[in-house]
Structure 1
Amino acid sequence: MAIREPIRTGGRSARVQQSVHQAVRELLASEPRESLTVPMIAARAGVTPSTLYRRWGDLASLLADASLERLRPDTPPASTGSLRGDLLAWTEQYVDELGSAPGRAMIRDFVTSDQGCQCSNILRGQLQCIVDRALARGEACPSAEQLVDRLAAPVVYRVMFAEALPEAERVRGWVEHALLGCTPT
């Protein structure tokens, strides 16, 4: 595993990260993912390949970091007025996003890099937002960690290993299973 320089929040480091992420997005729009190389991305970003290797270590980590930027939500999860509705809306969207070609590629990027913890933190944060809203409404609910196990994990498994994406009925079943044992306050 390569030693990476610490990430700073501003200045040249932020500009390099932004230009590299932009280069990855542009290249993915015009090239097959399998044809991307570190030198190709570096040339598009206007930096040297050694800058990318020093910062990200390898191509998989670089692609995972660019995917992580895309994964960060711009808005909180949809609020439907109930825990059940929020979880159903979130899970349906999660299936759609991960089941797309870019979503599947993103999962592969995370599996082959060391960015999985950051991805998990974003996911857990989204679910914690749903939990916090439910608690504020006085609803009993599972923890965000339980929701990761009961909703996110089956989605990722099905997207990666099943022949077809889960149907709406299965998604509703996961939500109902996630709510088992919750009693209203």
Structure 2
Amino acid sequence: MSTTTPSKRTGGRSAAVIHSVRTAVEELVKEKGSERVTVPMIAERAGVNPTSIYRRWGDLPTLLNDIATYHLDPDRPLAERGDLRDDLTDWAGGIVTHFRKPVNAALLRGGAGAAGERTSDCLRNRRTEATQLLARHPETAVTEDDVMDVVIAPIINRVIFQPWTLGDTTADDMVARLFRAGAGTADESPARRAESGDTP
């Protein structure tokens, strides 16, 4: 299943189609909920042929996943405050803010909720961003897996299953838990320490 997000450089007719489809999806999800939206319904609202949607996105879950995450531009500047904990908190906070919007949460539930990490732009792009943030702090023992397991996975789990639990302190709480699990120590990663129960 292809989940390639359409390029930002796309122009002309293709760009117009993408915009129309994205707008149609967002409107329909707001009106009906993601579970009631179909490709023919989207095509009719967008004024395009259903085959154009299938050709570009492959299937409905892939389309919904793309729409849910495209506002989170993977090329956007990431916080650079000189401290890993602050950088991760700002980054996670932006993700929480995005998915606190009901339409974005509904889209993610309908799209990425049906896909694994290998096929989800949401998780693949978040892992790439985590790698970029950690590269600024080579002294830390924190890994991409730590960030995904301790910060991102709980956020996405809440978005999909308990969106009402996302709050102003969610990002701070997740990052604080990462560091309580031993972030920055050279001998063992935070995720491994959390699993073993050896948490300070």
Verify same fold: TM over 0.5.
yes
Residues 69 and 28 (structure 1), Cα distance of their counterparts in 2 relative to 1, 3 Å cut: same
The number of residue pairs the alignment matches comes to 176
Is residue 2:132 matched to residue 1:140? no
Aligned-residue offset at 1:62:
2.0
Of 107, 123, 126 in structure 1, the residue corresponding to residue 129 of structure 2 is 126
Counterparts of 1:35-184 in structure 2 under 5 Å? 35-73=36-74, 75-108=76-109, 109-113=111-115, 116-135=119-138, 139-162=139-162, 164-165=165-166, 167=169, 170-176=173-179, 177=181, 179-182=183-186
What is the Cα deviation at residue 17 of structure 1?
3.1
Relative distance call for 1:106 and 1:40 in structure 2 (3 A) is closer
Q: Is the 8 A contact 1:97 1:103 kept in 2?
A: yes
Cα pair distance change 1:46/1:70, threshold 3 Å: same
| SS of equivalent residue, structure 1 residue 142 | coil
Indicate conservation of the 8 Å contact 2:151/2:175, yes or no. Answer: no
Cα distance in 2 between the residues matched to 1:140 and 1:57: 40
Structure 1 residue ranges without an equivalent (≥5): none
Question: Equivalents in 2 of 1:25, 1:75: separation in Å?
Answer: 22
Task: In structure 1, give the amino acid aligned to 2:41.
Answer: M
**Per the alignment, do residues 180 and 131 of structure 1 end up closer, same or farther by CA in structure 2, a change over 3 Å counting?**
closer
1:124, CA displacement in angstroms? 0.9
Paired residues of 1:76 and 1:126 also in contact (CA < 8 A): no
Contact 2:43–2:49 (CA under 8 A) maintained in structure 1: yes
Cα distance change of structure 1 residues 66 and 40 upon mapping to structure 2, 3 Å threshold:
same
Distance 1:160 1:25, change over 3 A: closer
Identical residues among aligned pairs (%): 34
- In 2 relative to 1, CA 50–145 (structure 1 residues): closer, same or farther, beyond 3 Å? same
- Shift in Å, 1:91: 2.3
Question: Are 2:140 and 2:184, in contact at CA under 8 Å, matched by a contact in 1?
Answer: no
Q: Is the 8 A contact 1:64 1:110 kept in 2?
A: yes
Offset at 1:148? 1.0
* Equivalent position amino acid for 1:181 in 2: T
What CA distance in whole angstroms lies between the structure 2 residues aligned with 1:17 and 1:47? 10
CA RMSD, 1 decimal? 3.4
SS at match of 1:134: coil
Aligned partner of 1:155: which letter? I
SS in 1 for 2:137: helix
Against the structure 1 CA distance between its residues 112 and 172, is the aligned structure 2 distance closer, same or farther, given a 3 Å change threshold?
Answer: closer
- Provide the TM-score with structure 2 as the length reference: 0.67
In structure 2, relative to structure 1, the CA distance for the partners of 1:17 and 1:178 (3 Å cut) is: farther
Which range moves more in the overlay, 117-126 or 11-20? 11-20
